[in-house]
Structures are given as structure tokens and as C-alpha cells.
Structure 1
Amino acid sequence: MHRIIAAVLAAASLADAAGAQTAPSPGLPAATATSQTAPTFSLESALAAGGMPASSTSSANNNPARSTTATPSSSPPSLPSVAAATAGVGAATAARRVAGLRPNPELQAQVENIAGSGVYKGLRSSETTIGVALPLELGGKRSARVALATARLTRAQIQAEIARADLRLRITQLYIEAAAAERRAEVLAEQAGIAANAFRVSRERVTAGDVGPIEQQRADVLRINAQVAAESAARQAQAARINLATLLSAPVTGPLDRAWFERIDDYGPPRPVDVAATLALAAAEADVRTAGAQVRVARSLRVPDLTVSTFARRFKATNDTAAMVGISIPIPVFNNGSAFVAQSRSEQTVAVAQRNLAVVDTSQAIASAQTEVANAAATARAAGGAGLTAAQEAARIARVGYSAGKFDQIALLDAERTLSQTRQTYVDALAAYHDAQARLDRLTTPAPVNSGDNQ
């Protein structure tokens, strides 16, 4: 009789456990609990809140959100990193205007033969000279300066694109982290519910006299540990949301896009990437062009400039005037500019070497990211497909068998542990896949076209 009562109670507990796997658990974060009412906060929403157009990311284009997105009503201000890079472009633009300016003329005035003795006492024999001196730049200094300033402007524009791409990657990674933390919280909350039901089944079997009290104690320890893990995961999910909201300077409301997080694009063999067209190589090439322009400036400085002067002199004693013309040119005795040319050439050599190194590093990073994307996608498909189905079925059979007294508690715990590990492996693989895809998108971000020619 006791066994019949225990079997009935165990069946009821198992029904509760099955319901716990499909219904939201009360231990989930607040954002997940309100998923039925609040609109989905998608990756596109996060990028828009950070001032990043969603169409600029290939991952967003390949994975369009199917759910409602919470788009901000107005354009958000630039975040500090992008604002600083944009200010750098403004400074480089002003510097190029300055580089194109010619030297200012000088107004000169002299009074001679004053405050002396005899005929030179006072101003009776003074000579007043007033004139203008105009520096003339030779050797193409002005055009060399403009070329250097233009190269620096192009580099600043590329740096601004790098700042935007880095911010886009950071937002995407924080979104992935938050979405993964939310899914882990769901998984651990389900496991906490299953552990609670297993504890009730063990207590009922102990009451019926089918098993010893040790099974109840073991189930109670597992229930407590599962509850602690679920609460910790819920706090981590909430912290991930706070980190994302802090970066965006905007609230992250509603559930995250679960459909996007669990979607895996078809991924075949690694596709060839033109490294020369990437943003990283554009920055390295801009550094090489800047160094070359600096060499041109150094060479132009070796040519001395002329200063042409014209004066009008008035003689106080006779009240006569006379014109004066002068030319001055520095003599490059101690500094002929050769040291500056040598320094600029060495810096150009460094820039070329760093460009060549950037080609190798970028190619290797892209190949590694492509491999990580493919591996994570394969792991996620396996863990979330046949592997997860088999683990769920094994756990279901173990629960039924344990309630009927056919399996011992060790078999049940092993099946539950395998299911929990498979679910967490699936979530981790999804997070790794999206993170690798985001890093691959960042590495293959195209360079801006003619960024410095249209200013």
C-alpha cells in the first residue's frame, strides 16, 4: 500500500518537473519574467542605442531579428570613444587648413641716429626706415606640408572608423554575454526545479519505506546546490544587463532576442578575404603614407627660404626719402636638414615593416576566427540537436524508472547531470559562435573609400 501511494505521488512530482521544463521559472531574472509583455530588445536595438547602424554589421544582416525591436526614438549622442575619434578628425581637418597657409609678411620699422651728441642730438639727424619683409618658401615646403596634413587626416578618419568598429564589437560582445547569461539562468532554474522535485520524490520514497534516509539527504544537498547555482546565474544575468546598459547609457528593457541567439547560419569552408581591403590594413597603409609624406617634408626643409624686404627711408635733416630693397637667406652650416631626413626615412622603414607585419597578423587572425566560427557552430549544432534530444530522453527515462523503483538514485543523478552539462555546453557553444562571428566581422570590416580626398 505504501508503495502504491509513493508511486502516485512520484507521478505527480514528475508531472510538475515536466511542467518546470516548459514554463518560466520564478527564479529567472526580472527581464526574462516579463518576456510576455515587454518588446524584445534585439542586437539591432543595442547597436542603435550606441549610435551604430545595424546594417553595418554582417552578423546583423545575416541574422535579421524576427521579433519586435525597441528602437530609440531619437539619435543617441556619440559614446566617448567615438566622440574622441570624431574630434580627432576635426583637429586633423583644421591642421590641414593650417598647413596650406602661407607665411605672414612682417612689418618692420627702424629709427637711426637719435639721442646722440652734436648734430645727432635729439631727432635732428634721425633716419626713419619703414618696410615690409615677405618670406618666400622654396623647395615645395607648402605642398609637402599639405600632403603630410592630408595623410594625417586620412589616418584620423580611419581611426574614427576603427573606433566605431571597436565599439560595435564591444556592444555585440556585451549583448552576447547578456543573452548567454540569460539562457544559463533559465537552464539552471530548470535544474533547480528538477532537483526540488527529485527531493520530494526521495522524501516520499523514504516515507513509504522503499529507500533509506541517505537518499533523501543526498537529494536535499543537490536541491540546495542547484538553488544556489540558479540564484547565482540570475544575478550574473542581471549584471550582464547592467554592463550593457552602462555602455549604452540607456536602459536595457525587455527580454533579449533568444531566437537570434539560438540561430546558427550555414557555414561552409573558410571564404577567402582580401586582407588589403580591411580596416586594419587601411590603418597600416595610412601610416606608411604619412611616413612617406614626412620624408617629403624633411627633404623640402633642406632648401633654404628667401626673405624679400622693401623699405622706405626718410632723412630728417634734409626731409628726403629713399627706397631700400633687401634679400636674406640662411646659411645651413650647423643644421643642413640631413639628420631630419635620416630620421624620417627610418620612421618610414618602421611603418613599412609594421604594415607587412599587419598583413600577416590580420591574415592569421581572420583564419583563426573563421575556424572558431566553424568549430563553435558544429559544437552548438551537436549539443543542441541530437545530443540534447538524447540527454533529455535519458533524463526522462531515469526519472520514470526512479519513481517506479527500477533505477537507483545514482542513475537518476547521472542522467540529470548529463542533461544539465549538455544544455550548458549548448549555451556556451552558441555564445562562442556569436563571439567568434563578431570578431570575424570586426577583422573583415572594409576600409573607408577615399576618406581623405574629398575634404
Structure 2
Amino acid sequence: MELNTITRRCRRLLGLMLLGTSIHSLGAPATPANTLTLQDALTRTLTHNPALYQYRFHKAALLASKQNDALSPALAVELNVENIAGTGAKQGVQEAETTLALSSMIELGGKQQARLTYADARIRHAQYQHQATSLDVLAQLTTHYIESLATQANRELAQRSLDFTHSLLDTMSVRAQRGATPEAEVLRAKAAVARADMQLTALQRKFERQKIQLARYWGETQTPFQRLDGSLFEFGASEPFAELYQRAQRSPALQVFASEKRLQEAQLSLAHADQRSDLTWRLGVKHFAATDDAALTAGVSMPLFANQRGSTQVKAAQAKRDAIDYAETDQRLRLHAQLFNAYSLRQQGIDNATKMAEVVIPALEQALELTQTAYDNGRYQYQDLMAAREELLAARQARIDAATTALVSQALIEQLTGAPFTQ
């Protein structure tokens, strides 16, 4: 699987599917230049994220290593001079014997093919790791995007609250001038304005921090965008947990273990091949200076007890291969628990957000209207009006929190399954 194929798959599995089913509409009109969409963020991350970009160099290194493994044993040239600078008849070079020889190794046991098989397994394993890491990074980005979108929604809610308290302060100031409202209530209204302004400022600063966190995914420190595009309250249809878990069995996270097992099996085959002793041959020409004669020389050597020396490598490779099965079993159990937790939280978030929107918020809005009317008629006090407003504000915030939980859980589900949650 090539890098471009992995990139396209990651974008399709965790990018566009979230855009189409959760917090963005692909059919929506073009967004303003100062607005960031999730699709833009995902595309920039896939292109420029340092954690993903480094896999290109890792792959290049593995390919270069494979080319080296494909090479045959190198030839060596040897020049050997004997019987020189001695004593008596061996003084000088009159009795010198000079040998010029070539030597190399004949690999036995299919070592070269075993090395190439192991190199291919390393390359495939790195590709699966790249795919799994890409999904992890995109899921983290999506989670940060959703949380930032929730902050943006809370900021807009805080702005509405500030506008309300300003309006109420103006009304109470006019009533206080007519003697219809105690001065203490005007002071309370001023304090409410200050608290609402502090809350809005805090959310604005939080949003600025979150913008920086988003920009770092594509390697930037500047945030020219001012808004995020998307809706927190579009969840799509649900799927049975059994289908999701079945899909998760084919997820990149588990494919990494399958690739790791093939890698260790290739390493075990390489260790078995290394147990076979290699032949070292030597062929040369020897010159005798005393008689000016020449003769061929030849030799073959093989190390002894190589099988015993290689047995430890075989045992180590076998142990690593066997350990993968247990690691994969443990990962499947973790995956099941994590997937079910995310599935349950998503359902809970959707239920809470829906009930808030359909029952709680309409009831509190009507209650606030009735309280406002009663307050204007002098039948309710300032505390009653503020309590009704705070209840409505808390319900709207709870709806945002529930929707955020649902969408973050859905992003995790799609990360674990490597596929869209809703079609």
C-alpha cells in the first residue's frame, strides 16, 4: 500500500465521513475566508503534520535497506607477501612469495531471500503503522475541533447572556429612577453584567488557546481563521454495537498486530536461515621470487558449530512471535471495552441533547417569558427573574455539553473501527 493510498484512505475514513455525518455538511455553501472547516483542517494535517510526514523518510530508509539486503556478498581482494626482510637467505625480497587472491562468500540456507522477505515485512508493517497513526492524529484533531466548536457555541451563548443582562440593567435603571425598583437590585444587575462579561472574556481566551492547538496539527503557529464551521447538533443514524465491533476487527489498530506477526515470522525464518553455515572461498595466484614461478592457490572455509550459535536467535524470534498472539488478544479486549464505552456515551449524549432540545429548553423558555411578564407587572422579584434566566442558560449549556460528548465519542468510534459510523 503506497503512501498516497494510505493518505486517501485516512481522509476518506475519518475525514469526509465525519464531515458528512456529524458536524459539517458537504453540500453547504462556501464558507468565508476567515472561517475554518473541518475538511480544511484535515487536509492540512494530512499534508503537513510532522508526525505523519516523517513516515516518508522512514519508508525511504526501509527501501534503501531492502536494496542493501538484495546485494550478493561482496568480493574481497587480498595481497599477501611472505619471506621478506628476514635473515640469512631470507634477507631482502629474493625469497619473497607474493599471493594475489580474490575471496567471497557463498550464502547457504536461502539467506538472501529470507532477508528480502523480512525487508518486505518491515515495509508493510511501517505502512500499517502509518495508517493507524494517521487515523489517531485525525481523530485527535477532530476531537479538538469539536471541543473548540463547543467553546464557540458557549461563547455565543455567553454573548446572549451578556446582552440580556445589559438590557435588564437598562430597564432596572429606568425603573429605579421612577422609584419602582430598589437601588440594591440595580447593583445586583450591575454585578450580573460584570460576571457575564467575565464569562464571555474567559470563553474568548479559551477559544484562542484552542485555535493554537488546532493550528499545531498542520505545523503552524498563526491562526488567521476567526470562526469554525459546523453544527454540534447533527448526529445521524445509529448502528448496532455488534456491527461496530465486527467492523473494528478489521481496524488498522488490529491490522498492525497482524503485520507485526508476519514481521516476526519473517524474522524467525531469517534466524533459521542464519543457522546454516556459509562457505568462504578464496582463489589467487602465488608468485615465487626465487624461481620467478607462479601457481594458483585455492581454499574453502566454513565455521564450525554455527547451528548451536544461531539457536539463541531462533529462540528469541520464536518468543517474540508467540508474544504477539497474547498482545493481540489483550488489544481486542481493550478495543471491545473502549468501543462499548464510546458507544454508550454517544447514545447517552444524543438522548440528553435531544431531551434538552425537545422538552427542557422549551419549558424553561416559556417559564422565563412568564417570569419576565410577572416581573414587569410587579408580581415577581429580581431574584426570580435571574433564577429563571440562569436555569435556561444552564440547560442550553448542558445541551452543548451533551452534544459534544456524543460527537467526541463518535469520533473515537470511527477511529477504532476505521470506518464511518453512519452511512
TM-score (norm 2): 0.86
1:60 alignment counterpart: 19
Matches within 5 A, 1:134-153: 134-153=104-123
Change in Cα spacing, 1:268 to 1:108, as seen in structure 2 (3 Å) is: closer
Distance change (3 Å), C-alpha of 1:55 and 1:280: closer
Corresponding residue for residue 439 of structure 1:
412
Moved over 6 A (4+): none
Give the secondary structure class of the aligned counterpart of 2:30.
coil
Counterpart position of 1:261: 232
Partners of 2:132 and 2:224 lie apart in 1 by 25
Larger fraction in helix:
2
Deviations 1:24-83 (A, max 9, x none): xxxxxxxxxxxxxxxxxxxxxxxxxxx9746753212335331314687xx865221011
Determine the C-alpha separation between the residues in 1 that align with 2:239 and 2:69. 51
**What SS is found at the alignment partner of 2:227?**
coil
Deviations 1:73-96 (A, max 9, x none): xx8652210111222122122222
SS at match of 2:351: helix
Q: Distance in 1 between matches of 2:223 and 2:170?
A: 40
What TM-score comes out, normalization by structure 1 length? Answer: 0.80
- The two structures, once aligned, show a CA RMSD in angstroms of 2.4
| Cα distance per residue 1:224-278 (max 9 Å; x no partner) | 21121112112222322233234332644253224x3332212253333333310
Question: Is contact 2:14-2:415 (8 Å) kept?
Answer: no
Counterpart residue type for residue 219 of structure 1? A
Of 272-281 and 129-138, deviating more is 272-281
Could you tell me whether the CA contact under 8 Å between 2:128 and 2:255 is conserved in 1? yes
On the 8 A contact 1:284/1:358 being kept in 2, the answer is no
CA apart distance, 1:340? 1.8
- Which residue among 239, 245, 251 is the counterpart of 1:278? 251
Q: Distance in 2 between matches of 1:142 and 1:274?
A: 38
Q: Does 1:234 align with 2:204?
A: yes
Match of 1:298?
271
Q: Is the 8 A contact 1:392 1:419 kept in 2?
A: yes
Q: Which moved more, 1:386-395 or 1:326-335?
A: 326-335
Whether the 8 Å contact between 2:73 and 2:105 is mirrored in structure 1 is yes
Q: Which amino acid aligns with 1:253?
A: F
Deviation at 1:281, TM superposition (A): 0.3
Task: Give the counterpart letter for 2:18 in structure 1.
Answer: S
Is residue 150–residue 400 contact of structure 2 (8 Å, CA) maintained in 1? yes
User: How far apart in 2 are the matches of 1:400 and 1:268?
Assistant: 46
Cα distance in 2 for partners of 1:410, 1:134 equals: 96
1:24 paired residue number? none
- 1:73-128 Cα distance to aligned partner (Å, 9 max, x none): xx865221011122212212222222222211211121112222333222212111
AA at the equivalent of 1:442: Q
C-alpha distance in 1 between matches for 2:187 and 2:166: 12
Aligned twin of 2:148: 178
CA 1:334 to 1:59, structure 2 compared with 1: closer, same or farther past 3 Å? closer
- What pairs with 1:90-105 in structure 2 (closer than 5 Å)? 90-105=60-75
Q: Which runs of 5+ in 2 are unaligned?
A: 1-8, 34-38
After TM superposition, the structure 1 = structure 2 runs for residues 27-176 of structure 1, keeping only pairs within 5 Å, are 53=11, 56-57=14-15, 58-63=17-22, 64-65=25-26, 66-69=28-31, 77-176=47-146
Residue from 370, 374, 379 that aligns with 2:347 = 374
User: 2:401 aligned with 1:428, yes or no?
Assistant: yes
Q: Which amino acid aligns with 2:234?
A: R
Unaligned runs of 5+ in 1: 1-50, 447-455
